[in-house]
Amino acid sequence: MSATGLAIPEASTEREKVTKKALTADHPTWCPGCGDFAVLAAFYKVLERRQLPHENIVTLAGIGCSSRFPYFVNSHGAHFIHGRAVPLASGVSLARPDLRVFLFGGDGDGFSIGGNHLEHGARKNIRLTYVIMDNFVYGLTKKQTSPTSPVGFKSKTDPTGAIDQPVNPIKKLLAAGASFIARTHATQINHMIQMIERAMDHDGFSVIECLSECVEFYPGVFDPANPRKGGQFQVIEERKGDGTPEDEQRHDVRDEIAAYRLADVPFPGLFGVFYENDRPTKNTLEKKWIETTRAKTGGASDLELLQKTFNRMK
């Protein structure tokens, strides 16, 4: 057994079911009507369906309204610093394959202050699921321009309207090498659940951009994608591989170039899975390296290994 092998206590046979009640923690501090409530409800629903061992669920976050998420889920969790939740979560994921790592955050946390970490977490393909609740505005600090705010958006830092070109989250994620990229909308609960489940089942760095309205500082911004507000929720039709001619017209989620084209559809854009790729995770590659390295040691104990190194320095 590896030196760092975990001595996980025997699971007792009678387990409490992971119910919504068992998952509910502090009452959310979000404003009434905030889109994030629906994301939390969808997450509870997914956990209820999946019945993961309760102690193995880990919710992590950086800073922002949406990053308060871990307080509202009764599971192991950590509320970290602004923008650095991806590397924190990477550490948890790489050291503990027994855990299910869920990461929650907003557009500022993910695309602005944490932009570099997002790129490298995606590039390294670290096994975790990251839900970015995108509201196009800084809410916790009360209405400043965010990296996804559209040109012309009037905020406290751009009183005459934003002038900088916003980030296109899907294109950024594609370029960075994220191996599962989806987009959903907080008003579409079933679609959200479906996307979170697909992300969870993906072995790699899975990211969901979830449009989640800030009712306080950017009300109505996502109505164009909400059928109940007269908008259109346009879902990507994925290729089924049924050999029919119409299937050729559907989106192949492995086609990166096609994914870029779909990501270019003007606001409110498309929803669903843009891209999925089964390339090996850093978790797997590092594990393989650890196993190969350890195989060469001939089963020596930690003490024997270090002693051998010191013998070479005599």
Partner 1 sequence: MGRADLRPENIRDAVIRLAGNSQDGIQSAGALLARLAGRSAQEVMTYMTIPSTISGGPSIFQVRMGSGDVLSAGDEADFLVAFYQHSYEDNVEFLKEGGVLMYDSDHVQPNTEDRRFVRMGIPITGLTVEALGGTARDKGKNIFVLGLLATIFHLDAEKLKGLIRERFGGKDESIVNTALMAFQAGYGYPVGDVLTTRYQFEISTRTGARDQVTMDGNQALAYGLIAAGVRYGAGYPITPWSSIMEILRSEFPKYGGLFVQAEDELGAVSLALGFSYAGYLSVTGSAGPGISLKTEAIGWASMAEIPLLIVNVQRGGPSTGLPTNVEQSDLYQAIFGGHGDSPRVVLAASTVEDCFYIALEAARIARKYSTPVFILSDGSLATRIEAFDEPDLKTLMQEPHPDLTPRAADYFPYPIDGITHHAPPGTRMLGGKYPVVTGLEHDEMGHPTGTASLHTGMTAKRRRKLQQLAAEIPVPEVHGDAEGGETLLVGWGSTYGPIREAVDHARKAGAGVSSMHLRHLHPLPNGLDAIFRRFQRVVVVEMNDEGLYGFGQLATILRARYCDPKIRSLTKTDGLTFRIKEILEGVLK
Residue 60's contacts (CB-CB under 8 Å, 6 or more residues apart) are: 70, 77, 78, 79, 80, 85, 88, 89, 92, 101, 102, 103, 104
- Please state, in angstroms and rounded to a whole number, the distance separating the CA atoms of residues 178 and 66: 21
CB 88 within 8 A of CB 122: no
Can you name the residues that pair with 200 across neighbouring β-strands?
Answer: none
Cis-peptide, bond into residue 268, ω within 30° of zero: yes
Q: Which of 31, 50, 56, 238 binds partner 1 (CB under 8 A)?
A: 56
Q: Within positions 20 to 39, which residues make up the interface with partner 1, using CB under 8 A?
A: 22, 25-26
Contact 28, 36 (CB under 8 A): yes
Does residue 2 interact with partner 1 by CB under 8 A?
A: yes
**Any contact of residue 70 with partner 1 (CB under 8 A)?**
yes
Work out which of 39, 46, 47, 88 binds partner 1, going by CB under 8 A: 88
Give 55 or 164: the residue with its C-beta nearer to partner 1: 55
Work out whether 6 is an interface residue with partner 1 (CB under 8 A).
Answer: yes
Binds partner 1 (CB under 8 A): choice among 51, 157, 234, 297: 297
Smallest distance, partner 1 to C-beta of residue 262, A: 28
Which residue, 11 or 257, is less far from partner 1 as judged by CB?
Answer: 11
Closest to 20 in 3D by CA, of 55, 46, 59: 46
**How far, CA to CA in Å, does 144 sit from each of 152, 177, 301?**
13, 29, 56
Q: Is 71 near partner 1 (CB under 8 A)?
A: yes
The residues binding partner 1 (CB under 8 A) are 2-9, 11, 16, 22, 25-26, 54-56, 58, 70-71, 74-81, 83-96, 98-99, 116-117, 119-120, 286, 289-290, 293-294, 296-297, 302-303, 305-307, 309-310, 312-314
